[in-house]
Amino acid sequence: MILPSLLSDSYGRIIRDLRVSLTDRCNFRCLYCLPETEEAANFYRSRFHPVRNPLPATHKLPEWMPRSELLTFEEIERLVRLAAGLGVRKIRLTGGEPLLRQGIESLIEKLTRIPGISDLAMTTNGFLFAQKARALKSAGLHRISFSMDSLDPANFKKMTGRAGLDEVLAGISLAQELGLNPVKVNAVVIRGLNDHEIEDLAEFARERNLSFRFIEFMPLDSSRSWLKEMVVPSAEILMRLRSKFDLRQVAASNPSETARRWSFPGGRGEIGIIAPVTEPFCGHCNRIRLTADGKIRTCLFSVSEHDLKGALRGGASDSDLVDQLRSIVWQKEDRHHIGEAEFKTPSRSMSCIGG
């Protein structure tokens, strides 16, 4: 039975996880999000058939939102407090790149004081993490996830648009030193680009005692260049990893986990595979997203967004906002439609949506 105080959708899923984007800005230009570099253009040019898959028109970088369009920390705190009162327990701060938002430590301090929030995490590309790590930890950050798609400096630059591997590696080490636990590292796997590094990335996780996540390539890039042929299916990733490592499957701690997980012998580190394309987990999804400009997205692949900023700045009471949240979540989609004829690419890329 669903308690009336909880935030639920029409399919009986209880929302426990709120992803909060702090900015649409990013200091990377990743191939699967903002593929605007010459390296990205050359890669995609080599992948497209001129007739069957013509290369999309050049896509200009989106203009970053003016600061006035972003939710203030006070507005974010208010919405998180209301969501916590409806059963949300996990907050993940995302971007763009969240560490580009000035004063992020003060927001973390505010969120850690909200009753009911038991897990406060952040996803970052890691480039600026070492500069702010101790302040983030002192403010109350529980966990950190780094995006790192390659261990090869040249390939890292090709994928992210900048040379920054050393900074990311230093950030990962510092996060472990500070006791942020677990430290997760995510890699989006793209065929023909970094799929040859799958085994090396897993070995890195084992050596460093990390939780490593391999993520299937999703259609969320700003140039609409995604092709299913570039997806490395989870079954293929697992087959390759099992051929090298004696992996032990880890039982899911809750049905809403996005990753299927395996541990290495000796308990040093683990790998997980997140497969939204070939093995969707929509039926147990307990997540919604709040964009940096105050829109609620009930699915990563939603084609519509629900504005809360207007109500926040228009004098809405807490009760009004709670009613609006309930109404929005009730409309949450049953699933995404990747691979189906009716699938439509979201109008905004991952940098605007938040991971």
Instruction: State the residue range of the domain holding 99.
Output: 17-353
Confidence (pLDDT) at 323:
97
Q: Is residue 2 part of a domain?
A: no
Question: What does residue 157 show for φ and ψ, rounded to 5 degrees?
Answer: -65, -40
Q: pLDDT, tens digit, for every residue of 295-329?
A: 999 887 777 899 999 999 999 999 999 999 999 99
Q: Is residue 5 part of a domain?
A: no
Q: Is residue 11 part of a domain?
A: no
Q: Is residue 10 part of a domain?
A: no
Which run of H or E residues covers position 125?
A: none
The overall average pLDDT reported for the chain is 88
CA distance 126 to 320: 38
Q: Is residue 3 part of a domain?
A: no
Q: Is residue 193 part of a domain?
A: yes
Confidence (pLDDT) at 1:
40
Q: Is residue 8 part of a domain?
A: no
CA distances from residue 344 to 35, 147, 310, 347 in whole angstroms, order as listed: 20, 26, 26, 9
> Do the beta carbons of residue 165 and residue 173 sit within 8 Å?
no
Where residue 344 falls among pLDDT bands split at 50, 70, 90? low
Where residue 334 falls among pLDDT bands split at 50, 70, 90? confident
The CATH code of the domain that includes 23 is: 3.20.20.70
The tally of domains found in the chain comes to: 1
Q: Is residue 200 part of a domain?
A: yes
CA distance 247 to 241: 8
